[in-house]
Structure 1
Amino acid sequence: MILYSHLKYSPQLHGLPRDRNSRGGGVFVAVRDNITSLERKDLEVDGCEILWCQLSLKSKDDDIFIGAYYRSTDSYKPETLNGLEESLHKLQSSVNVPFIVLGGDFNIPGMLWKVDDTTFPVNGLQSKILDIANDYNLDQRVDFPTRKDPVSGTENILDLLFTTRPSLIKNTRPSSGISDNIAVLADINIRAPRVSKAPRTNFRWKDVEEATFIESVSKLQTQFMRSSPKSKPIEENWNFFKDGLTNIINKTVPQKIAWGKPRPSWLSTDLVRQCRKKERSYVKAVKSGLPSDWDNFKTLQKKVNKEIHGAKRSHLQEMTSSENPRQFWRFINSSRKDSSGVQVLKVQDTNITSDKGKAETLADQFSSVFTKESVADSKPELPPSPYPDMPNITVSVDGVAKLLKELKQVRLPDLAQLQIKHSN
């Protein structure tokens, strides 16, 4: 355990301690002086050594709740975790989806934590901590031993680090502590990394040389007809046509590489222009230091913020009232705080952590709602139809050509954009 007195030698840190009434010791959280923090005494529980600290970020919804916890080794009954469970319940009741980082010495031996294996059950203590982690969507990130028994040499993971956003916890590693337990260090990203769009190729059809393109397509047609397509499978004919046409497009059509920039759909070009104008006014005010320039910057800042909030609200109202749900869910996915995907699933007191296990569990759940009929069951016999049989359908070349001419031209992606001029 790190002593609170060690903070005296760290002038850039201030501590939020919770000392024991007797026997010394306790838990604390150390925060840098330049970070706004608030001790949440309302989340504490009598008889439980736990301390919560709320770190304020730019957005209130992104505040981090840092927790320090210690479980005594006086008893290994699962009831010793009731205080932790009650404290987490208080936190979840006060915040809708809290960003939790909870660490400390849990003193729960016999767990590997890589596969949620409880190979050392002591009165259900391991099962209790797994239930708490599952109920409050907590993921444990420490997978290396933090204490080695000096007598038996047994290694255990006693110091744990839980979080509700595992993709933001990076580089969890051991470090030499000042006690008999190994200290746990981890890096926390404040926000989930934005996934940039991959570069895409845009074909400039306006600049294509029509004569060269038509000549290349005619040669491809001749090669295709000479290859006896009627004697080949449809898949082989399609691959021949697709590969040949792709090569022609890559050689004859000018291309331009476009790099996608992450921009919210509600952020129009005019708003981007105003934001840049506000940034220029800020740089000017910083360089000059004149009150008039600062007043101009503050006026632009209020105006831009008001228009941004209004554009975002209008966009949300438009999406919620739209009949197309794809735009709404695309916006929801872009606003997520975490990129971890499906969380740990629990099936019959077993936690599923692997991607394959999660996929199979969700597939089984989906298929369970459908009725399973046995093939051996006799099929019902249908009575004879009172309607006459339909005559054979005759498909002629002229009929197909007529239908193709009546098709409306629509813009389709990739190869389907190509319009080939062909005359018989």
Structure 2
Amino acid sequence: MMKKIYYILFLLLAGFCFNSCVSEEEDLFDKSAAERMNEALTKYKAILQDDPQGWVMEFYPSDRSMGGYTYTAKFDNGKVDMTSELSLNSSSGDKWPAGTVVTSYYRVISEQSALLTFDTYNLLFHFFSEPRGSSDVDGYASDYEFVFMEVSEDRIVLKGKKYGNKMVMTKLTESAGSYMQKVLDMQEKISAVPRMKMIVAGKEYTISMVGKLLSYTDKKEDSSLENIDMAYIYTPEGFRLYEPLTVNGVTFQEFVYDEASDIIKGKDADVSFPYPTALELFCGTTSQWYFTFDSSKKTGEMDEDLLKLFFAAYDENLDFYGEQFLEWYLGANPLYPSQDTNPYCMGWLSGRYYICHGVNLSIVDEASKKIAIQATAEGFNYSFYSYLDPVVEYIDEHSPYVVEFDNDKQPTKVKFVSAADSKVWFSVEL
């Protein structure tokens, strides 16, 4: 009898709890999940189309190792007009300079979450996600579908569906063309003068700013070293990091360029990037520095061993392909990032074909003017010209080099002499 009473009480209590939970759920969600999703989709579509100027999109392709790219987008009932800072050329000779408007389509859809998808081909945006050949179906492994994470009237935060990179959209307050030109102008100003030092609250760090990637090494409290690579994107005022960094107790993300002093400063943070030295200018060069050689006389401005290695490759190239090496250079890669992922390279022009092998240029010692040249990864077309290996290996193996500039402020010619073997040398010039 007692057990029966307990059982009845248990059922009554359970029923009461169930009714309370249902009532509470009804209070919290007076609409179904489908209804709430439909309302969200309608709201997001309206916000996207609300601004007559459109939106700025800060897009970080791939694993962010290529930095960030600015796009603008004007949304209108499934159609989107995009511009980008990219300049693209086709194999047929067609050109799409930075700022070119390309029209495609978009959708706001539901797939467990609300998604913004650019699912019809757009030359500018799908450059980073389209296949680059039968053996490279992922291209640069980038998203074209994004989950809505935060939405307000003037700012939208999205997250890539497949690769997870954050994309921030903010409303334009001027025309897309005007905004894009300011970004391009700022990129030209900052990238023309490479920065190799970062000063944070009085402490100096050696840094690299190549390919929209801020790289440096930080010494932790336990004396271990941490290598930091942080992507950034250019803005009309300077540049912005993908996410905030904390260094020497200072947290920062955004920087402004002071044209009067030519110094880049942290926005509301004690961080600066001073004007570079001659060595820093060379290691961060935006130009190609050419090796001088005469193919008819088999001479050049370099030591005899390097000269023999180069002309051995020259002759083999002529025999195998019927092509002459017309140029040989060191410095900024003219094919980056549209056709090659190496921002710096040793490069050649063989007939009408470009060949690249990636290199790192870094300062070993400022006082003694030593620079290291280190071979990295094979680049554009290099696999077809592997007989250049001895040339690349020779220069790599005799690094670092003591450099001699013809002019420390505005050099046009540089002589490299191996620090380990003074008989090894070569010169390059603009």
TM-score (norm 1): 0.22
Larger Rg: 1
TM-score (norm 2): 0.21
Q: Name the structure where strand makes up a greater proportion of residues.
A: 2
Q: Name the structure where helix makes up a greater proportion of residues.
A: 1
